[in-house]
Structure 1
Amino acid sequence: MKAPRPSSAALRRRARLSPYLFTLLAFILFVTILYGEDFSCFFGGQFYDYNRPYLSEQVSFQKKGEKLAFSVGEAEGGCDVFSGRWVWDEHHPLYEEAECPYIHPQLTCQEHGRPDTDYQHWRWQPHGCSLPSFNATLMLETLRDKRMMFVGDSINRGQFVSMVCLIHRIIPDGRKSIITNGSLTVFTAKDYNATIEFYWAPFLLESNSDDAIMHRVSEKLVRKGSINKHGNHWKGVDIMVFNTYLWWTIEPKINILQGAFADKDKDVVVMRSEDAYQMAMKSMLRWVKKNMDPNKTRVFFTSMSPRHKKAIEWGGDKKGNCYNQTDMIDDANYWGSDCQKNVMSVIGEVFRKSRYPITLLNITQMSSYRKDAHTSIYKKQWSPLTPEQLADPVSYADCAHWCLPGLQDTWNELLFANLFYP
């Protein structure tokens, strides 16, 4: 039996609706194209799902029963160590600021007058399991005759310094040293013939910000396909921890040099930050695949370190930021609203296609809760502050870097867990 034909009135209504529907769909398509890179902000989230089982994807191609390099055990089944909550712990911090002479003055908050210490006493507790306790002896014994290197910007330098502070206490005085030569800083544990190193490369690729001290330039320029310039210093490393994010998001566009810095007439192309970042991620993965043996070397990548520049994101004063914040954000679903041009989605897209087992240290959400842990105004100021700034501390609070001891020690506890108990 045939279905009844629609009435003439229904046909007229449908005809009247069609142009409006077409116009609406066209408008939505136009807005999506025009504002696609910021569209996720309109919906209060980002395109990339940070909570997906990312680590299992990265090592899923391993043969059954095959262990990653340096692993001594296995994590509890089904446990995502990056999903959890912060709990108060009197046994934290694992070291004191005053007893670690290696902390950069940009991160010594107590020395620079921070009046509270609560930010030091929180421990990360994954849901359904626990992190293995950080064992400095195991770390040093594992590093015997080996090199561990952190590569990236000042955020990664903070993680490097944290690692040094976590292990240096068990090394006798006179049996350890730290030397900086240009972009490379090397901490040596002499009795172990082991080094923990930091290499300054904020873009990973060659750039005009590669001077570890004089890197503040008005117009940043990154050279395409130039990772080998820095990569020559990374060869032979046994445990590698990459990080690059912050410098790619300072501006919405990045100047990309097609030729060489020595060229008289420079060929420069302007790219969207996320496109340029994707280019860098692909260069990094190609370099790792070509130069590192996954049977002997472990490679990590630390995800986005969040900034707390807008207090309104967590219900605070619309003119405030991380300044004077001594409590963490207690909303378990909090992600903030700083979409950062969806750069994090690039990590998910590029890494999922990688056939090299890079482990993502997904510290983004756990760190997003910690608006209390930034250096804020309690750090060395590289330039004299004006009277106007001094009268308004919010104006010069550093909401990108983290006090030590503090949050970045937890990043290294997660690194320890994923290195030995993947």
Structure 2
Amino acid sequence: MTLKIGIFNQFLEWIDRLGEKYGADPDEQRKTVILIRACFVAGIFMLLYMGQCIFIEFNVGVNVLPFEAIIFFLLPLLLKIGFRPKTVAHLYILNGTVFGIFLVIFSGGLYSPVTPWLTLMPICGILFINPRSAWIWAVLILVVVLGMGAYSFFVGQFPKQYNLEYENLFFVNCYAGLIFIYLLLSLIFENKLTSAYKKLEKQNQELAEEKAKSDGLLLNILPLEIADELKAEGESKARQYEHVTVLFTDFVNFTGISEKLSPQDLVAFIHKNFTAFDDITEKYGLEKIKTIGDAYLAVCGLPVENLNHAQLVIKAALEIREYMENNDSGFKIRIGVHTGQVVAGIVGVKKYAYDIWGDTVNTAARMEQNSEEGRINISGATYDLVKGEFDCTYRGKISAKNKGEIDMYFVNG
């Protein structure tokens, strides 16, 4: 039993491989597999009905059905040597129609139990080819039926060249077989259609997973709003933002301490701390822009404007400072903050980078450079937005490189 099932499965796999030849078009592939299976089903049924013809002494059927069966069995080989599935499908329907009409003529014409079998041909046109083909074959079958009706009316009845003692048996078997064939073709169609849907569903799921991965990678590079614009428009225009707050951090004596670390430990340290910074800036709605060596740059107030940009940056800075004070890395941090105007946009066409430019960015860098170990240094512009909300100490006007004297404040908490 297991051997028989194994042979049958191999046979079905061979049929599927024939269909995969047309895999560029899933619909054509599905119809091809259905056609091949139907060829073998039809061939087997012709042989079975030949046995019935022997029993009821229908000699025309005995002589005709073996040839019809052989043609059905050979049709799939035409696919293997290069014939198109539509051509083979038309030959399938033609074979069934011609031999069917021949059997009908010698078994009673319009009143033959074989006549309803002709209705299978348009159905096969839908299953194997397309609705237009089904209509063409339906019209041809209708013409044949009308012709037989006219012949019966004007000339006389067609001969019944079988033993009439078995007429009831002939009718019962023909109609039962027709019902069974309809059901079997429907099951073959449903099976392959379900298989195609499952395959499509799997492909859609894989595409969705890949899209989620690519979207995730894109969001690691670009803000959500910019990524959506880029996907929708194919580009993202640079914009000027009038009111944002920029945060710069830098590790104190990073070069000196890093010389004592192995490359692996150094990268692990940077990764660990910058990952923590990422979590903190995300928590307060800041947009991370980039890291430059051991420097970390983030901004609040873009690409979505936020009236509390300065307050949120100070909160993030305080939490970053607290994080560095509580770990045992041995590194200390300087933080600088400045508020003002920036231009933001995407640079590059291969490796996208979302960046910000303007004097505000340079001034924030000067705030960091003029800060002290474990301190948060903010400009007068930022202080004006957060005074009264945070405890700050005025440092006076301090000279900043290429900026002249700037009012600076330490944020205590």
Q: TM-score, normalised by structure 2?
A: 0.21
Instruction: With a CA cutoff of 8 Å and minimum separation of 6, indicate the structure with the bigger relative contact order.
Output: 1
Q: Which has the higher helix share?
A: 2
